[in-house]
Structure 1
């Protein structure tokens, strides 16, 4: 009796296990190492076309402004004279230094916003480095073109009309304000560019520049700021390269005395 019962139990277990579907063994996927792969270019990813690069995107608008200014210069088209006539009809001949006062107003905005506690895109040291580089690019390019073009001012005072240096300076500063605070609010840039546009308008109202001069000047200013950012190696939040490669340590001088050791590791 017991043997018959055990035989039946084994038979039931065997038949039941035969009817159950086999469960596939699925290996667990190994999570990707995001630390190592975060900055790697995915395999097979297509490279961006040259016209989608940072340099092209940064220089497109300034190049259009400079090209328009060069094409519509005094000797090439009558639109300058037509615009000058329109401006003189709308505004009485004036001689004001208000455009000189507004020249660096965007930089004043930059300082006031920073003092108010608004975090800029780059730290103060790097901001000053970018400003210095942009100013050097702008001054060198603007005055070189002024000397080569020999464009006479509308009031006939000299032959340094094209492009407008005041306008280039104002738009350079406005472009830096826009770049530093655009992640916080676009209105900072709108305010800075409004000031720069006012400088350009006043240069024409004061009969110091043709419209082609101020349009090209805006292009030179914006382009100088963009080139300064594109060529800046000490990116936001990082120490300047000289500080990263320099270390100080206290040292003991034989004979009694303390000193300070300097170690500098130059890199190529």
Structure 2
């Protein structure tokens, strides 16, 4: 009995050893790791997910201006169609006003921008970057509108020249309004509402003074908004997004002898 037990244990041990040997022979060797692409993304940062076209920044930037410009181009038929009807209505309801008002009101959104900044409301960008965006937007707007003016050759309602389409005054006003809206929309939407109201009044004045057709001012609004959006999209020099000259204050002051005024204080950031 004892001898039978020893034989059974020995057979079990030999069987287990043979099974392990077979398993070792059957298991395939592990393939070496592929290191040919290890330097393509050394930081291990996942690639950015491409946004759908309708949600991309470029689409959002050009959608509304494109609609306005397209509408203006389609309806730019001189004294015909909707232009004729709108001109007749405006002439029946309003009298021409001093054109100096047109030339002054177009810059009121920029005055609003400066006044809000002086009041201590923090804008989206620091002062230097805001000025750079304004300069870039102005360059885009002037180049695009005057190029289209000379290419279109649209005669003004009053027949003064052939630079009617699009309205440069309206483009200027809507450019400034768009910058005001972008800089302060995180603080309050009312800043943008005020600026766009001013810009719309400029468009109305240009029609009241018989300087532009309806198609001109609609397209001009599109060119102004598009110029502002392109200025922001192409602006990459953020200067580290440091606060440069944000600490600006304004307060009433009394200087004696009945003289009063305002004091301005500015503490530039280091």
TM over 0.5: yes
Q: Which residue of 1 aligns with 2:108?
A: 105
Q: Is residue 114 of structure 1 aligned with residue 114 of structure 2?
A: no
Call closer, same or farther: CA 1:85–1:183 in 2, change over 3 Å: same
> Does residue 217 of the first structure (1) align with residue 220 of the second (2)?
yes
Trace 1:1-268 onto structure 2 (pairs within 5 A): 47-75=50-78, 78-235=81-238, 238=241
Cα 1:41–1:146 change in 2 (3 A) is farther
The number of aligned residues is 201
Inter-CA distance 98–193: structure 2 relative to 1 (3 Å threshold):
same
Aligned to 1:119, the other structure's residue is in SS state coil
Secondary structure, in 3 states, of the residue corresponding to 1:97?
helix
Q: 1:100 Cα shift? A: 1.0
Which 4+ runs in 1 deviate beyond 3 A? 40-47, 93-96
CA change 1:61–1:41 in 2 (3 A) is farther
How far apart are 1:195 and its partner, in Å?
A: 0.4
Residue 76 and residue 91 in structure 1: after superposition, are their counterparts in 2 closer, same or farther (change >3 A)? closer
The question of whether the paired residues in 2 share the 8 Å contact of 1:65 and 1:215 is answered with yes
| Cα distance, 1:51 vs structure 2 | 2.6
> How far off its partner does 1:235 sit?
2.9
Output the CA distance in 1 between the equivalents of 2:171 and 2:232.
17
1:77 Cα deviation after fit: 5.1
Contact 1:74 1:210 in 2 (8 A): no
How far apart are 1:76 and its partner, in Å? 9.3
Gapped regions of structure 1 (runs ≥ 5) = 1-39, 240-268
Q: Structure 2 regions of 5+ residues with no counterpart? A: 1-42, 243-270
Deviation, 1:220, is 0.2
